[in-house]
Amino acid sequence: MTSATTADPTQREPELLGQTVVVIGGSSGIGLETARRVRAEGADVILTGRKPEPLRRAALDVEALSTAAFDANDPAAIERFFAGLPTPIDHVFVTAGSPEYGRLLETKFDDLRDALGDRLLLAIEVARNAVDRVRPGGTLLFISAELSHPTVGTGSVSTVAAALPALIANLALETAPVRANLIAAGFIDTPLSASLLRDDIERRRDQLRATLPIGRVVGPADVAALAVHIMTNTALTGATFTIDGQQLVE
């Protein structure tokens, strides 16, 4: 028997109503798509990136509360940014960064130090500066490449991918009751992927459509949906979530 008072499952409260989400790297790709998704779920967004013009366009797109243009790998800039936030925030998603490819033995020391260190140190600096500004139960969320078997030219990417889950699990102990989590992504169809693959991007998409069990390419909206789930499910902390459509072909 059906009751007239049964709730319609499509009629639900937005999941992030009244919350504020900071996206560091929010002017493109996964960050921008997540900003759109959290806005649709009722949150305000604060966006950052390095280039002012794409950031301005992204801010218009999602009606951002505010923006800030700075290099996230500059620890002084991270400190200034969080110190300048006017209100407590609920979640921080860090998508800033790009993979550094090249043979380990042929990469100069300074470049290797950046390739191996930037993403790990960025996570620590964000945690250090954000933790007192995030409401208990909120999450610091980071992203990395999923762990893949060794191939020549991806040594630093795969080393950092192996280290990040341990770093985030340890950080989560220190940031509690603020949560810390990691998304480990396979190929995601974003402007970054297009710029890295150039003329090969269509071939890559076709290969993934043909080989992934899901029969389609994973897009930024898929990652955005996972990010919102991690923000709203307060049981999740210290964890790494793989999203790749079961990618078995490198």
Contacts of 172 (CB under 8 A, 6+ apart): 179, 180, 181, 237, 238
Instruction: Please count the other Cβ atoms lying within 10 Å of the Cβ belonging to residue 214.
Output: 13
Could you tell me the smallest distance in angstroms from the CB atom of residue 81 to ligand NAP?
10
Question: Which residue in the set 16, 31, 82, 138 belongs to the binding site for ligand NAP (CB under 6 A)?
Answer: 31
49 binds ligand NAP per the rule CB under 6 A: yes
- Residue keyed to tokens 């079961």: 246
Among 175, 182, 178, 87, smallest CA distance to 137 is for 178
- CA–CA distance, 88 with 239 (Å, rounded to integer): 24
Question: Which residue in the set 42, 63, 71, 103 belongs to the binding site for ligand NAP (CB under 6 A)?
Answer: 71
Could you tell me the smallest distance in angstroms from the CB atom of residue 30 to ligand NAP?
4
- Judged by beta carbon, residue 112 or residue 121, the one nearer ligand NAP is 121
- CA–CA distance, 23 with 93 (Å, rounded to integer): 5
- CA–CA distance, 200 with 212 (Å, rounded to integer): 18
188 binds ligand NAP per the rule CB under 6 A: yes
> Among all residues, whose Cβ is closest to ligand NAP?
29
79 binds ligand NAP per the rule CB under 6 A: no
- Judged by beta carbon, residue 56 or residue 232, the one nearer ligand NAP is 56
25 binds ligand NAP per the rule CB under 6 A: yes
145 binds ligand NAP per the rule CB under 6 A: yes
- Both tokens assigned to 85: 């936030």
Could you tell me the smallest distance in angstroms from the CB atom of residue 88 to ligand NAP?
23
Contact letters (x/-) for ligand NAP, 92-131, by CB under 6 A? ---xxxxx--------------------------------
List C-alpha distances in Å: 221 to 149, 216, 224: 26, 13, 5
Is there a contact between 190 and 220 (Cβ–Cβ < 8 Å)?
yes
- CA–CA distance, 239 with 234 (Å, rounded to integer): 12
Q: Would you tell me which residues interact with ligand NAP (CB under 6 A)?
A: 25-31, 49-51, 54, 71-73, 95-99, 143-145, 185, 187-188, 190-193
